[in-house]
A = this chain, B = another copy of it.
Amino acid sequence: MFNTVALVGATGAVGRIMRQLLEERPLPAKTFRFLASKRSAGGTITFRGQDHQVEELTKDCFAGTDLVIATTPDEIARDYLPSAVEAGATVIDESGYWRMKEGVALVIPEVNPQDAINAKGIIASPNCSTTQMVVALKPLHDAAKVKRVVVSTYQAVSGIGLSGTKELEEGTHMHLHGQPYNYTAFKHPIAFNCIPQIGGEKEAGYTSEEMKMVYETRKILGDESILVCPTCVRIPVANCHSETIAVETERPISPEEARGLFESFPGIKVVDDIGSSMYPMPLNSTGSDLVYVGRIRKDLSHPNGLSFWCVSDNLRKGAATNAIQIAELLAKHRFGK
Contact = CB atoms under 8 A, between A and B. Distances in A.
Given A148-B302, A235-B235, A154 B277 contact: no
Contact of A194 (B148, B237, B297, B305): B237
Nearest to A202: B274
A149 B283 contact: no
A228 B193 CA distance: 26
Nearest to A157: B192
Given A172-B176, A227-B302, A237-B236, A283 B196 contact: no
Interface string A146-190: 001110101000000000000011001100100000000001110
Contact of A274 (B152, B176, B194, B207): B207
A188 B281 CA distance: 9
Contact of A297 (B206, B238, B297): B206
A300 B201 contact: no
A279 B233 CA distance: 12
A129 interface: no
Contacts of A300: 204, 206, 214, 227-229
A307 interface: yes
A102 to B, nearest CB: 22
Interface size class of A (residues with CB under 8 A): 35 or more
Contacts of A298: 204-205
A103 B310 CA distance: 40
A246 interface: yes
A274 B236 contact: no
A179 to B, nearest CB: 14
B242 A281 contact: no
A335 B315 CA distance: 62
A295 interface: yes
Contacts of A196: 242, 244, 279-281, 294-295, 309
Interface string A280-299: 11110000000000111111
- Among A207, A294, A301, the most chain B Cβ lie within 10 Å of the Cβ of A301
Contacts of A305: 229
A203 to B, nearest CB: 9
Nearest to A283: B193
A197 interface: yes
A275 interface: yes
Contact of A176 (B149, B169, B309): B169
A237 B193 contact: yes
Please list the 4 inter-chain residue pairs (A to B) with the smallest Cβ-Cβ separation, ordered nearest first.
A205-B297, A227-B301, A152-B152, A229-B301
Given A205-B295, A207-B274, 20 more contacts: A148-B301, A152-B244, A168-B192, A188-B277, A188-B283, A189-B283, A192-B237, A193-B282, A194-B237, A194-B282, A196-B244, A197-B277, A197-B279, A205-B296, A205-B297, A206-B297, A228-B300, A229-B246, A229-B307, A231-B244
6 contacts: A152-B152, A154-B235, A188-B277, A196-B242, A196-B244, A196-B295
